[in-house]
Amino acid sequence: MRSAARMMPPSKRPRRLRQAQWIRTLVREHTLAAEDLIWPIFVTEGRGVRESIAALPGVSRLSIDQLVVDAKRAQALGIPAIAVFPVTAEALKDDLGTHATDPSGLACRAASALAEAVPALGLIGDIALDPYTSHGHDGVFRDGEVLNDETVGILAEMALVHARAGFNVVAPSDMMDGRVGATRAALDAAELERTLILSYAVKYASAFYGPFRSALGSARRQGSVDKRTYQMDPANAREALREVALDLEEGADLVMVKPGLPYLDVIRQVKDTWQVPTVAYQVSGEYAMLRAGADAGAFAWTDALMESLLAFKRAGADAIITYAALEVAEHLRSGYATTARA
């Protein structure tokens, strides 16, 4: 026979706050909105081009005219900014990434078209050499080494070219030491002080970038030196705080942690320590992994996607870069509740 003590009902019942949708909504600690999203887009040459990317189901390379169409759609859904990644023709690549500073390059032409068509939409330009180098590194590669200081000078020039083309934000993604300071100095000297810097302050040498490199054709091709000589060791968290401190001191306006889901602890530490605008990147491998799991029947695609993005907000991210931004914004507009469904 059970004792009376064991039969006594609990006086504290957390489930009372979960019993109906209205109360769950009322007490929810974190929410996801279209205004939290940044949409990364691959732009390619041509006209009328929508080229599917095998490694990223549901994602396409777009020609500039199609990019403008989709950018208008993004703006109408309440997405505040897009990030543009150009697919550079192999014939334009060289060891120094010379085409990166060409004002007539694909990224700059895309920015000009977007600035005219959707002037209220934020435009983020990727500042790195890997889409433009024949060896696939993010900097000048010589004698078996990626050269830091020589690369920084090129990156600062590239940022100027991008800002003049219409990008509101330049985003150094290379992880060279000192590139934020050099970029800020170059922008200010050119009277482009209103241009924002979103620093990839915490970019890990990750296995989750593969589909992105496939989409851009920027896979590493040169020698035994790899990106671990400049991107961060996944084992380190305290180092991330030092990287953020340096970039803020050098003039970064926003900082990023990349990848996102495997590094939620780092996002939280960065936000708690510095209390600055913090961006999380749901990188290509994360996106592709969720797609593959859903395709295999392991879980429902939309529910898993929304839950993963909500996790970024819970960890402290102010904005999230995701390839599913348009789809997410459409779900949110239709009234989707960003909580997992059993």
- 313 belongs to the catalytic site: no
Distance CA(202)–CA(250), nearest Å, equals 15
Say which DSSP state 324 is in: T
22 burial level (CB within 10 Å; 0-12, 13-18, 19+): exposed
Say which DSSP state 286 is in: H
For 301, residues 6+ apart whose C-beta sits below 8 A from its C-beta are 290, 291, 294, 295
3-state secondary structure 223-266: CCCCHHHCCECCCCCHHHHHHHHHHHHHCCCEEEEECCHHHHHH
For 92, residues 6+ apart whose C-beta sits below 8 A from its C-beta are 99, 132
Q: Sort strands 37-44 and 81-86 into parallel, antiparallel or unpaired.
A: parallel
Distance CA(261)–CA(282), nearest Å, equals 7
Residue whose pair of structure tokens reads 């992880």 in the numeric block? 175
Catalytic option among 203, 227, 271, 313 = 203
3: tokens are 């004792």
271 burial level (CB within 10 Å; 0-12, 13-18, 19+): buried
Closest CA to 256 of 326, 320, 206, 213: 320
What element of type H or E holds 214? helix 210-216
Closest CA to 320 of 302, 333, 307, 335: 307
- 72 belongs to the catalytic site: no
Contact (CB, 8 A) for 95 and 78: no
Residue whose pair of structure tokens reads 């605008």 in the numeric block? 277
Helix 325-333 to helix 64-76 angle, to the nearest 10 degrees?
Answer: 30
Q: Is the peptide bond before 259 cis (omega within 30 degrees of 0)?
A: yes
Catalytic option among 93, 227, 258, 271 = 258
Catalytic annotation, residues: 203, 258
